[in-house]
Amino acid sequence: MSPWTASLPARKTPHESAPEGSRSGLLRLRLATVAALCLSAGVAMAQEPKIDPWPGLVTDIFHGRAITPHEGVVALDAPKRAEDAAIVPMTISLVEPALRAATLVIDENPMPMAAAFSFGEGAGVQKIETRVRVNSYTNVHVVGRTADGALHSVVKFVKASGGCSAPAIKDQDEAASNLGKMKYREFASENPALHEAQIMIRHPNNSGLQMDPITRAYIPAHYVDKVEVRQGDALIFSMEGGISLSEDPSFRFVYKPNGAKTIRVEAHDNEGGVFKGEWPIGGAS
């Protein structure tokens, strides 16, 4: 039997909240704005003096709140030079166990907020790995929010380019036939008090900047924008994301088990798709 679950497409329900200040509408607006600027400005835009986008992103995503550079709260592992700009691995480590949220921002991407994670109380999440697209040489920030609301950041510089417009690995027909199927894996943990698991979601996560090789038209943006992972009814983490997540989004994470027997996942995309999966803990294939 295939380890991939069947998808359950349905109409999307409105999101009740988002982990940090930026919302999907704002992000879509930013994507459309950047794409329009790129088309209209062309070469002339590339010759403009380089402007650091981070101060503006702090305003857009974090509403201008103070962010303190701090290595002892949250850590980011990212390659200095990516082998494939369309699937760049990112690992967020939560050094401070009381962190309530962590937001991954790829400064130079058309949709900079790659993923905003919120963690369930008592979930004990210590690490999350995912894969992203990187469009040009860029700083990558991760901003952690502690229980008192303070924001702390670390930054890495990543050399990669063209990830947002890179052709999809799978053709669109194959991607559509497997849309929303999920796979769950478990891994041996060095700490017996913790579990390590991975959720993989089949989805093209089209960026809107990729071109159909036959029609030469841009493929519309179609991407996973929200994921919730629970043990029993208790939230482990939720994620709000966008086009910066790679094709077939993947999340590998370390968490504290609460005795629940199952892992449940619900994912949404920007076209109203809802996809669900459930697996017994300790019974992953």
- The whole-number pLDDT of residue 170 equals 74
CA 165/CA 42 separation, integer angstroms: 16
Q: Which tokens belong to 269?
A: 């995309």
Instruction: Extract the tokens encoding 227.
Output: 């994921």
Distances (CA, A) of 54 to 1, 19, 38, 61, 147: 47, 19, 19, 10, 24
Per-residue pLDDT of the chain (285 residues; tens, 9 = 90+): 455 664 444 444 333 344 454 444 444 545 545 554 444 444 444 556 788 999 999 999 999 999 999 778 999 999 999 999 999 999 999 987 778 999 999 999 999 999 999 999 999 999 999 999 999 999 999 999 998 999 999 999 999 999 999 988 777 888 888 999 999 999 988 788 999 999 999 999 999 999 888 888 999 999 999 999 999 999 999 999 999 999 999 999 999 999 999 999 999 999 999 999 999 998 554
* Burial group, residue 7, by CB count within 10 angstroms (0-12, 13-18, 19+): buried
Q: Identify whether the C-beta of residue 240 lies closer than 8 Å to the C-beta of residue 24.
A: yes
**Which distant-in-sequence residues (6+ apart) come within 8 Å of 110 by Cβ?**
30, 31, 34, 35, 135, 164, 207, 209, 243
pLDDT at 17: 41
Secondary structure (DSSP) of 215-259: T-PBPPPB-EEEEEEEETTEEEEEEEE-TTBPSS-EEEEEE---S
DSSP states of 91-133: EEEESSTT--EEEEEETTSSS-EEEEEEE-TT----EEEEEE-
Cα–Cα dist 9/1, whole Å: 21
The DSSP code for 83 is S
The confidence score (pLDDT) of residue 283 equals 58
According to the model, what pLDDT value does residue 12 have?
42
